[in-house]
C-alpha cells in the first residue's frame, strides 16, 4: 500500500492503541513514529545506541531495547523520554541482535531478552520512573521474546541452542523448553489458537508450538525466515532476506502468498485498527505498509 522512508537500518517495529507505529532504526539511534491513518512519519525520537527492538504498553508508554549499550529507553504515552534503564552486558564491541523487549500489560512488566548477559530481565512499568527489577531468569543466549497474554508465560528464542524456553511469570524460572529449527530468531504468539510461531533463520522453516499439547510442527517457508507476526484472523506473516513476506494459512499450514516488500525485511507487526501489516526493511531504510483488507 505504501513505502515509508524512516531512519537507517530499521529492524524492530511495534504498534500502540492510538494508531502509532514505532520503528527502531538501528544505525540512526532513533525511533520513527508513523501515523497509521496517514502512513506518514510524524516524529523522530532520539533513543540509545543501536536500538534493536521496541514494545508498547497502552498505559505506561514505549520501551526501546538498545543493543549497542545494553539499555532500555522508557518513553511515556506522549513519547517523551522518561528514563534510560541500564540492563548490563559483556564488555567489548557491541554485536548485532543483542537485546529484545516484550510487554505484559496486565502484569505491568517489560521483559528484556539479553543475549550478551544470558538472562531475561524484568522492568516494572508502574514504578515512577520505570525501573529494573532485581528478579530475572537465567537463559542461555536469549533473543526473541513474546508474552502469552492468557497464561502470562514468556517465550524466548535461543538462536545458539536451537530451542525456545518458557518462563513462568510467578516463579521466574524456566518451566519448559522446545527443540525447534536452526537459529530461531523471530517469535510471535496467536493467543486465540494457542500457538507459538518461531522463525528459524538458520534454515527454511517456521516451527509451530501447540501450547495445549506441547507438540511442535515445522512449516517449510523458504530460506532464512527472520521475523514473524500474526494477524487477527490467525494468518501468519514471515519476513525473508529475499525481499519477500510469505503468508502462512493457519488451517492448511502452507504458504499461500508471497508479498514483495523493501530490501532485507526484518521486523514486522500487525496493526488491527487499519488492518495493515508494517514491515521494517533493514536494507533500504523504509517501512512497507501492506493493506490486508482483501486477504
pLDDT at 91: 84
Of 77 and 293, the structure prediction assigns the larger pLDDT to 77
At residue 150, does pLDDT exceed 70? yes
Yes or no: say if 283 and 6 are a contact pair by the CB < 8 Å rule: no
> Residue 104 in contact with residue 84, Cβ under 8 Å?
no
Residue 288 has pLDDT above 80, yes or no: yes
pLDDT reported for residue 93? 72
- Mean pLDDT computed over 283-295: 89
Residue 295 scores a pLDDT above 70: no
pLDDT in tens, 7-61: 999 999 999 999 999 999 999 999 999 999 999 999 999 999 999 999 999 999 9
At 293, the pLDDT band (50, 70, 90 cuts) reads confident
Residue pLDDT, tens place only, 217-250: 999 999 999 999 999 999 999 999 999 999 999 9
Predicted model pTM? 0.97
More confident: 95 or 265: 265
Q: Which pLDDT score is estimated for 294? A: 58
- Cα–Cα distances (Å) from 215 to 81, 123, 179, 209, 211, in that order, read 42, 31, 10, 6, 7
Reported as a single tens digit per residue, the pLDDT across 78-113 is 999 999 999 999 888 778 899 999 999 999 999 999
* Cβ neighbours, 10 Å, residue 129: 12
Please give the order of strands across the beta sheet that includes 228-230. Answer: 228-230, 236-240, 244-249, 254-260
Residues 198-219: tens digit of each pLDDT: 999 999 999 999 999 999 999 9
pLDDT > 70 fraction of the chain, expressed in percent and rounded: 99
Lowest mean pLDDT, pick from 86-90, 160-164, 282-286, 290-294:
290-294
293 against 244, higher pLDDT = 244
Amino acid at each position: 500500500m505504501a513505502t515509508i522512508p524512516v531512519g537507517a537500518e530499521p529492524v524492530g517495529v511495534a504498534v500502540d492503541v492510538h494508531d502509532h507505529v514505532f520503528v527502531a532504526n538501528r544505525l540512526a539511534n532513533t525511533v520513527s513514529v508513523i501515523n497509521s491513518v496517514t502512513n506518514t512519519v510524524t516524529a523522530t525520537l532520539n533513543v540509545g545506541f543501536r536500538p534493536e527492538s521496541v514494545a508498547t504498553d497502552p498505559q505506561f508508554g514505549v520501551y526501546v531495547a538498545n543493543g549497542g549499550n545494553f539499555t532500555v529507553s522508557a518513553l511515556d504515552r506522549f513519547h517523551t523520554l522518561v528514563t534510560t534503564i541500564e540492563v548490563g552486558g559483556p564488555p567489548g564491541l557491541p554485536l548485532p541482535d543483542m537485546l529484545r523487549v516484550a510487554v505484559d500489560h496486565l502484569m505491568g512488566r517489560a521483559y528484556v531478552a539479553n543475549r550478551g548477559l544470558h538472562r531475561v530481565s524484568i522492568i516494572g512499568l508502574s514504578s515512577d520512573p520505570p525501573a529494573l527489577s532485581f528478579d530475572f531468569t537465567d537463559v542461555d543466549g536469549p533473543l526473541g521474546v513474546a508474552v502469552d497474554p492468557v497464561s502470562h508465560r514468556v517465550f524466548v528464542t535461543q538462536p545458539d541452542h536451537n530451542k525456545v524456553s518458557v518462563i513462568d511469570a510467578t516463579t521466574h524460572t524456566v518451566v519448559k523448553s522446545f527443540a525447534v529449527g536452526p537459529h530461531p530468531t523471530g517469535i510471535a504468539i496467536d493467543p486465540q489458537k494457542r500457538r507459538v510461531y518461531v522463525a528459524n533463520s538458520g534454515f527454511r522453516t517456521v516451527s509451530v508450538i501447540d501450547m495445549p499439547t506441547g507438540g511442535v510442527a515445522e512449516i517449510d517457508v523458504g530460506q532464512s525466515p527472520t521475523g514473524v507476526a500474526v494477524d487477527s484472523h490467525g494468518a501468519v506473516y514471515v519476513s525473508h532476506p529475499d525481499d519477500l513476506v510469505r503468508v502462512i494459512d493457519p488451517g492448511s499450514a502452507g504458504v499461500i502468498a508471497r508479498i514483495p516488500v523493501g530490501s532485507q525485511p526484518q521486523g514486522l507487526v500487525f496493526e488491527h485498527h487499519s488492518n495493515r501489516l508494517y514491515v521494517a526493511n533493514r536494507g533500504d531504510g523504509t517501512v512497507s505498509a501492506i493493506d490486508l483488507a482483501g486477504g
